[in-house]
Structure 1
């Protein structure tokens, strides 16, 4: 048995509604016979939707459909000790987090990443050289560098 047939059998035996949907899908596929395999998956889904969902049902639920538009909401700003922030409950509500809102698994087209040109670092010019024998042993260890300010260097 093919995997598709096993899946269809399994889902057709879940409950009476699934059995009815499976029967309707099978009836639609048999009505198109040889043509079914040659049409695209998008067209197959459209044909299944049109055959299972009757026009009366579409009209009934079309009337109850609410226009999806951006509703106005009031932003509540809280000012507390010279800090201003937006109240967490005054914005539009969404079950999705910010990272989930524009989540796509596959991008429609791959956008080339912009090439960032880096400027080469300037060469550091040595002002003077100190011979190694004149370097104090204390300056190499755990001492802090000299700042040039007496109150910081001599405390």
Structure 2
């Protein structure tokens, strides 16, 4: 059953999987954001350098949580494509197009040019992850 599959069955599976995916990724994101400040407050010293490092880590953990929330729908779609034996080059090319040519340079530009440091790298990676999720969902929707 390569290529086409019954759209109603795959749509139901996709909607069921995506209904639990946002809750799990939101929980991970919320835990990372809520626990970042208390953890970094204990890990770094109370001087100005430690406070700056703690602030950087809090922003980075928040971006990590956002990246998790953006990645889950794309992972569900990629799993559906694998389950329906659509493992040809096309899904791999989608992933490569979404993250390869522009996400790392965007992250580097934000990190260096906009003075976002490591958070800028995570913004670029989150943007690539969002595009990859959207492309995978579009591929599943097309059937």
Q: What's the TM-score once normalised by structure 1's chain length?
A: 0.21
Higher relative contact order (CA 8 A, sep 6+): 2
Q: What's the TM-score once normalised by structure 2's chain length?
A: 0.22
Comparing both structures, which one devotes a greater share of its residues to helix? Answer: 2
| Higher gyration radius (CA) | 1
